[in-house]
Amino acid sequence: MAGQLVEVDGGIMEGGGQILRVSTALSCLLGLPLRVQKIRAGRSTPGLRPQHLSGLEMIRDLCDGQLEGAEIGSTEIMFTPEKIKGGIHTADTKTAGSVCLLMQVSMPCVLFAASASELRLKGGTNAEMAPQIDYTTMVFKPIVEKFGFKFNCDIKMRGYYPKGGGEVIVRMSPVKQLNPINLTDRGSVTKIYGRAFVAGVLPFKVAKDMAAAAVRCIRKEIRDLYVNIQPVQEPKDQAFGNGNGIIIIAETSTGCLFAGSSLGKRGVNADKVGIEAAEMLLANLRHGGAVDEYLQDQLIIFMALACGVSRIKTGPVTLHTQTAIHFAEQLAKAKFSVKKSEDEEDASKDTYIIECQGIGMTNPYL
């Protein structure tokens, strides 16, 4: 079943862990042996970090593959995939490495497994430089399920930087094929809601302050909508360590979802965290796209695998998205086009249509 060896340069474009995630997932799905060189070459700590390593090991275990050169700091790996199997799989970053990024690499693979899967992912649930778990459940999940599958995400324990210690269990059944999606009609914003949380030793007042500051910031621009941001004190038995953060979601009349989020850091006051999330949400609403900047790149691999033409309308195309498209074209041979939107109302905005002719991947086991 093994195809021709694919060589990937891990130092181009986004030049980070994302290249590894996209290329190993596609390698696993398509049965292509893979060599990735110059992994994270331009980063301050080059090579594999714990979260990248645990993602690779998980993909290897998902398909009983072979993995060479996989150790912390390594800048070259060789991966030879075999058959994708269901069942229970565990990945533990042993750090605050993001469980959401582990989910990104494993989810497309287990959709095409022989049987149902349970992924036990351990690490950070609300970590910097990655989607927060709340984003994954509140935005990514409802949108990605439009491709024609369902998954269940059970947050057992939240974990924060720098300790991690979180655990999420994802359950999903395989599909025969993925449907294409069309997310081009943005509609109008109908509601704005969210959660501002504190965990550990942080006072509840911090959650209330983040929420209040965010609401004030949104009100300046959107006056006629009720903004419902719940302050939450995470229960001790459901959160490991200390942390605070906020996620705010805008929902539209056509079911589009946009988010802004921010995490607290030592010495940063609560208002600032709330305002940062609100400003991110507002920026995502200004560009006229139907997905926010974080969903863009996460949808590319599913569009590439789907059967038929998918279209999404976005704001400025991010480097992460360009990178995902590049590797989906190189490995899966899907065809993408990115064009400026020609709709009248987008004329003054930086709005694009990403279109993909998917490869119509079918599950060989179903």
Annotated binding-site residue? 177: no
Annotated binding-site residue? 297: yes
Query: How many whole angstroms separate alpha carbon 99 and alpha carbon 52?
Result: 11
Annotated binding-site residue? 319: no
Residue type, 116: A
The Cβ-side half-sphere exposure at 177, using a 13 Å CA radius, reads 11
Strands (DSSP E) found in the chain? 6-9, 34-37, 66-68, 77-80, 87-92, 117-123, 151-159, 166-172, 182-183, 189-199, 227-233, 239-240, 243-252, 257-263, 309-314, 335-340, 352-357
150 burial class (0-12, 13-18, 19+ CB within 10 angstroms)?
Answer: exposed
Q: Which residue has the tokens 């324990």?
A: 157
Annotated binding-site residue? 104: yes
Q: What is the 3-state secondary structure (H, E, C) of 208-273?
A: HHHHHHHHHHHHHHCCCCCEEEEEEECCHHHEECCEEEEEEEEEECCCCEEEEEEECCCCCCHHHH
* Cβ contact 2:79 at 8 Å: no
**Of 309, 307, 306, 320, nearest in space to 354 by CA:** 309
> Roughly how many angstroms between the first and final C-alpha of the chain, as a whole number?
17
Query: Which among 52, 89, 320, 326 is annotated as catalytic?
Result: 320
Active-site residue 89, yes or no? no
Annotated binding-site residue? 331: no
The Cβ-side half-sphere exposure at 128, using a 13 Å CA radius, reads 7
Contacts of 235 (CB under 8 A, 6+ apart): none
Annotated binding-site residue? 298: yes
How big is the chain by its Cα radius of gyration, in Å?
A: 20
Residues acting as catalytic residues: 320
Task: List the binding residues.
Answer: 104, 294-298
Task: List the binding residues for ATP.
Answer: 104, 294-298
